[in-house]
């Protein structure tokens, strides 16, 4: 599993960092063993403290769609850094990034940059409550919208990995402002609007769920949410922190042709550096300070280095148009996983969309949080550890998305396919 240096680093980290990590899923609690400490990455691979190299299918949980250390992105960030790391003042570059976002995501008529997806989600919900004058927010079990107190309810992702779908420290009164429903259940949403008539400020949803593993929206689900929000005077918020610029240039809302009132972006839009954004209808966003009474601020919001990395990433995506090729490669990889699993008698369900996929160790279709939780996390842990030993790095949790990048070569995918076959065979032995 982890090499000598990684094990030593983890012991040292546990004396200084909570649990030895700065984000729970990195602790490998779900998959077993000691965390692997990474030192560098280039293209499709990463290298650990012991010098071992891995083909990476995590890619920092999604933002590195162009691969690690893309030269053009590094150059753009370095050029910006040489002018100054932060000013705490307005810059032309942040205006240009906001304009890029507006052009790509027309529903975002006004944009506010932040430093994290959590911050952006929290702010989007706040402005929705202010605009409607209501308190309740509908979310869906297994969808994760950052560690916002009122939204950390049946939140999937790291919360699921740790087996604590509700976080300690969240006052019950705050949790009661959130109505949690099954993902893909439009009838449950309609019933909620009826039960809490005139009280729902917003519906927030990952249009493609990625924090319970990948789960696709059922036909008509997102359109039904749009209609329910419009009819009941609530706002529809798409959390596209993961899907924004991952599935197409412009976000999943472009593919599904459903226009939300507010959108949250992160990960890819920052080019691998800490940057996120929220935005939407002009009449709603005009409530945000300094135009209106909804306060939100950040010292590093619109940080020039992150803005430069984000702008260059978006420019490359517009130029290279990698989406069709990434989807084809993902489908081939998933077909190989299904074939190898069937050959050795291991039951899996593989969900894919675009360059995202999840291998669930269950024979049931995975369409929501309840069906995702049927997956065998212990078996996934054995699968993960086998891949790691063979130099392939998958997400260290059953309920997460894996990602392909434009840096993955045919040779990378061939080597990964072979390693996956051997990992599945080891489960059958």
Catalytic residue set = 144, 239, 267
Q: Which of 24, 4, 37 is nearest to 393 (CA)?
A: 37
Residue tagged 């976002």 (tokens): 101
Contact status, residue 358 vs residue 340, Cβ threshold 8 Å: no
First and final CA of the chain: distance in angstroms?
20
Residue tagged 């304009």 (tokens): 99
Angle (CA) 33 38 41, round 5° = 135
- Written in H, E and C, the secondary structure of 75-140 is HHHHHHHHHCCCCCCCCHHHHHHHHHHHHHCCCCCEEEEECCHHHHHHHHHHHHHHHHCCCEEEEE
Beta strands in 266-398 (DSSP E): 276-280, 349-353, 356-360, 392-393
Q: What is the β-pairing status of strands 235-240 and 178-181?
A: unpaired
DSSP 18: G
Q: Is 290 exposed, middle or buried (0-12, 13-18, 19+ CB in 10 A)?
A: exposed
**In whole angstroms, how far apart are CA 417 and each of 134, 338, 380?**
51, 11, 16
Q: Quote the CA–CA distance of 363 and 347 in Å, as a whole number.
A: 6
Residue tagged 């546990």 (tokens): 14
């Amino acid at each position: 599993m982890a090499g000598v240096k990684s094990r030593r680093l983890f012991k040292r980290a546990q004396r200084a960092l909570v649990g030895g990590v700065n984000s729970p899923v990195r602790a490998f609690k779900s998959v077993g063993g000691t965390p692997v400490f990474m030192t560098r990455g280039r293209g499709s691979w990463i290298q650990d403290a012991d010098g071992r190299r891995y083909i990476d299918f995590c890619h920092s949980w999604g933002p590195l769609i162009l691969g690690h250390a893309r030269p053009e992105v590094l150059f753009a960030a370095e050029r910006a850094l040489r002018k100054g790391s932060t000013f705490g003042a307005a810059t032309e570059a942040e205006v240009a990034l906001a304009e890029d976002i507006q052009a790509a995501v027309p529903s975002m008529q006004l944009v506010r940059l932040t430093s994290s997806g959590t911050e952006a989600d929290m702010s989007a919900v706040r402005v929705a409550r202010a605009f409607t004058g209501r308190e309740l927010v509908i979310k869906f079990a297994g969808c994760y919208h950052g560690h916002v107190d009122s939204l950390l309810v049946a939140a999937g992702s790291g919360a699921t990995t740790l087996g604590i779908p509700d976080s300690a420290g969240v006052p019950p009164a705050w949790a009661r402002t959130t109505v949690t429903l099954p993902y893909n259940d439009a009838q449950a949403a309609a019933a909620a609007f009826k039960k809490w008539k005139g009280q729902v400020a917003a519906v927030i949803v990952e249009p493609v769920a990625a924090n319970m593993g990948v789960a696709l929206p059922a036909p008509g689900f997102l359109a039904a949410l749009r209609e329910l929000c419009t009819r009941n005077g609530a706002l529809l918020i798409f959390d596209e922190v993961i899907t924004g610029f991952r599935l197409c240039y412009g976000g999943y809302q472009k593919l599904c042709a459903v226009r939300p009132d507010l959108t949250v972006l992160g990960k890819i839009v920052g080019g691998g550096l800490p940057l996120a954004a929220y935005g939407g209808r002009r009449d709603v966003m005009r409530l945000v300070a300094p135009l209106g009474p909804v306060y939100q601020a950040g010292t590093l919001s619109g940080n020039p280095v992150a803005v430069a990395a984000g702008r260059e990433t978006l420019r490359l995506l517009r130029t290279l148009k990698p989406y069709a090729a990434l989807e084809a490669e993902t489908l081939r990889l998933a077909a190989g996983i299904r074939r190898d699993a069937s050959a050795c008698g291991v039951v899996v369900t593989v969900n894919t969309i675009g360059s995202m996929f999840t291998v669930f160790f269950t024979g049931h279709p995975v369409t929501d949080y309840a069906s995702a939780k049927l997956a065998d996390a212990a078996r996934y842990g054995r699968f993960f550890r086998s891949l790691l030993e063979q130099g392939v790095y998958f997400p260290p949790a059953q309920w997460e998305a894996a990602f392909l990048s434009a840096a993955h070569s045919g040779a990378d995918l061939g080597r990964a396919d072979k390693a996956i076959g051997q990992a599945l065979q080891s489960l059958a032995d």
